[in-house]
């Protein structure tokens, strides 16, 4: 089981999450090409693959195999622990 916070630390992984956020069920190659064209990232396929591994190991991305394709989608639910751990109380009033 991976660390959600460490997974969020990398800007590339956050961009991957953005990409999956607005289009679910993408394969590795799709993500690669869309990152290149739409976000200007020129990373190798393995780099993206390793990032997806990290995101999967902490539950932020769920994958499903179908033949030789592997589809990925975002699952933001692990992020809930965050707002529960440090609730954003409204600014403290001072008399």
Site string for a copy of itself, 22-61 (x = CB under 8 A): ----------------------------------------
Binding segment (CB under 8 A) for a copy of itself, from list 29-37, 40-48, 51-59, 72-80: 72-80
What is the rounded distance in angstroms from the CA atom of residue 6 to the CA atom of residue 3?
Answer: 5
From the list a copy of itself, DNA, none, partner contacted by residue 86 (C-beta under 5 to 8 A by kind)? a copy of itself
Q: Dihedral, CA atoms, 40, 42, 45, 51, nearest 10 degrees? A: -60
- Which listed residue (19, 37, 87, 93) binds a copy of itself by CB under 8 A? 87
| Element counts in the chain: helices (H) and strands (E) | 5, 2
57 counts as binding DNA under rule CB under 7 A? no
């Amino acid at each position: 089981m991976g660390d959600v916070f460490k997974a969020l630390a990398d800007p590339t992984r956050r961009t991957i999450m953005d990409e999956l956020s607005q289009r679910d069920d993408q394969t590795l190659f799709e993500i690669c090409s869309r990152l290149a064209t739409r976000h200007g990232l020129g990373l190798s396929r393995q780099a993206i693959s390793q990032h997806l591994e990290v995101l999967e190991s902490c539950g932020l991305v769920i994958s499903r195999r179908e033949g030789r394709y592997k589809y990925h989608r975002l699952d933001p639910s692990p992020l809930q622990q965050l707002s529960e751990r440090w609730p954003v109380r409204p600014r403290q009033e001072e008399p």
